[in-house]
Amino acid sequence: MATNGHHNHNHQLHHHPRRHVAVCAFPFGTHAAPLLLLVKRLAAAAPDVRFSFLNTTKSNSLLFKAINVSGFPNIVPCSIMPDDHDKGDGGHHHLKAIGVFLQAAPDGVRRGVAEIEAAVGVAVSCLITDAFLWFCGEIADKKGVPWVPLWTASSASLSVHVHTDDLRNKFGTHHNSGTCHEKIADCIPGMSNVRISDLPLGVVFGDLDSPFSKMLHNMGLVLPKASAVVINSFEELLPAITRDLKSKMRCLLNVGPFALTSPPQVESDQFGCLEWMDQHKVGSVAYISFGTVATPSKEEIIALAESLEATGVPFIWSLKDSAKAQLPLSFMKRIESNKTCGMVISWAPQLKLLAHPSMGVFITHCGWNSIMESIVNGVPLICRPILGDQVLNQRLIESVLKFGTGIEGGTITKSGTMKALHQVLSSHEGKQMRSNVKVLKELAEQGIRSGSTSNENFKVLIELVTGPTNGRVVENKKSEW
């Protein structure tokens, strides 16, 4: 394992920090970014506490370029986790790389923590980690310090993992979702609209023995024992699920949406998207992104391009260069000769785009960060989930929160997408979706006002992480390690 040159040499400030918190990231997908944003918020509240950000070299170098921590000498990137071999294609390589990382991670964390303790000369007094790193609970417990995992997705998917054994007991386990897919996951409070087929792979169907499924199962078993589980959400969004999770956890802290409470400060607009948006009518533009992990098939990319061409809906499409090559030549020629019809770019300033008045609809894979960002900006969705929690997220959006629609048949076809675009942008139903998401936006904003839930939860978190707690009992239940 390589220690890197990232160690901070600002000895004046850090020779004797009051406390030393180890933060352990999961280096795939959009997991490390929300963790660093949370740490920034904590570091601002506790400038005399040092936060050592343990991660792989590759992830840390991308992350600390994307998120500016220059005003935070107490956040120190420590690239001492086992390095990943992420090919970033969302397929087999990605899962394999995750498996390799997960296998090496427990030792990596133990050694990493010992290294930073030796380097700083102050013992670690709290472990904040991605929830996927479930084994950190035991590491923290052995050290006698709090473990504070961050769950980066929705409370609904968290609940599914916490209730995995209940689901398996009731519905059995299956090779695929075919045999039980229309059944309702009603053994989980707040899930009366969720079908078994909406659950992530590896819970009751799929490969239950893959390293990823096992990790999620183990995580669901140990999270209730964590000192506090932190979520990028707000309690009012899914109140029944929140209530149930609170009854199962020692402490559950919704401290989001991060898009409001810890927005990233640098979002460069190198392609001039915002000026382009200025030229379009209010509520008219479609923004398209499928996140950082997976991309739809070539056929779907072509069908999406055709639907945009046929409808004439102006668009900004964030698409990796490798996938851009799959777009039809005629489509590329059209957008090159007439820039106002749309742009295809490799990375968009998503939050700023969603906040722009011209934004009309977000065609999304339903990653949780994207969903929260849509809610805080009041943007309705067209959903094309691909993996993991995304199908469940689509179900919540369509049937519970009601601010978006799927595409007929579940995959992108020209006619299905044209229909969905019409529905969201031009129909009465679309109007209703827009007004529903505005209500959620308002709830999110209320949640972060002083004295409200997310804000109060953050205060509890600060006390827990930076202590001393002045006798205040933070948890609802005693530890059962």
Q: Which residues bind ligand UPG (CB under 6 A)?
A: 29-31, 152-153, 289, 291-293, 318, 347-348, 350-351, 367-370, 373, 388-390
Q: Which residues pair with 24 in a beta bridge?
A: 54, 129
Active site residue 31: yes
Q: How far apart are CA 220 and CA 235, in angstroms?
A: 20
Pick the catalytic residue from 7, 20, 31, 163: 31
In the complex, residue closest to ligand UPG by CB: 367
Q: What is the dihedral of CA 382, 386, 392, 394, to 10 degrees?
A: 0
478: left (phi over 0), alpha (psi -120 to 50) or beta: beta
Take residue 372 and report the two structure tokens written for it.
């929260």
Whose Cβ is closer to ligand UPG: residue 74's or residue 262's?
262
Q: Least Å distance between CB 347 and ligand UPG?
A: 4
Q: Least Å distance between CB 143 and ligand UPG?
A: 27
Q: Which residues pair with 406 in a beta bridge?
A: 383
Give the three-state DSSP class for 403: coil
Q: Least Å distance between CB 440 and ligand UPG?
A: 17
Whose Cβ is closer to ligand UPG: residue 190's or residue 200's?
200
Give the CA angle between residues 237, 225, 443 to the nearest 5°.
Answer: 10
Whose Cβ is closer to ligand UPG: residue 259's or residue 461's?
259
Q: DSSP labels for 219-277?
A: HHHHGGGSS-EEESS-TTTSHHHHHHHHHHSS-EEE---HHHHS--S----TT-HHHHH
Q: Enter the DSSP assignment of 294.
A: -
**């950082």: which residue's tokens?**
292
**């309702």: which residue's tokens?**
184
Position 454, amino acid: S
Instruction: Answer yes or no: are the C-beta atoms of 351 and 267 closer than 8 Å.
Output: yes
Whose Cβ is closer to ligand UPG: residue 30's or residue 452's?
30
Active site residue 130: yes
Whose Cβ is closer to ligand UPG: residue 96's or residue 422's?
96
Q: Least Å distance between CB 390 and ligand UPG?
A: 5
Q: Least Å distance between CB 33 and ligand UPG?
A: 7
Whose Cβ is closer to ligand UPG: residue 262's or residue 350's?
350
Q: Least Å distance between CB 451 and ligand UPG?
A: 28
Position 81, amino acid: M
Question: Rounded to whole angstroms, what are the CA distances from 434 to 260, 316, 377?
Answer: 19, 20, 10
Whose Cβ is closer to ligand UPG: residue 289's or residue 454's?
289
Q: How far apart are CA 232 and CA 36, in angstroms?
A: 12
Q: Least Å distance between CB 289 and ligand UPG?
A: 4
Half-sphere exposure of 379 (CA within 13 A, CB side): 33
Whose Cβ is closer to ligand UPG: residue 47's or residue 263's?
263
Pairing, β 147-151 against β 229-231: parallel
Pick the catalytic residue from 83, 86, 130, 244: 130
Position 415, amino acid: S
Take residue 74 and report the two structure tokens written for it.
């107490």
Q: Least Å distance between CB 92 and ligand UPG?
A: 16
Residues involved in catalysis: 31, 130
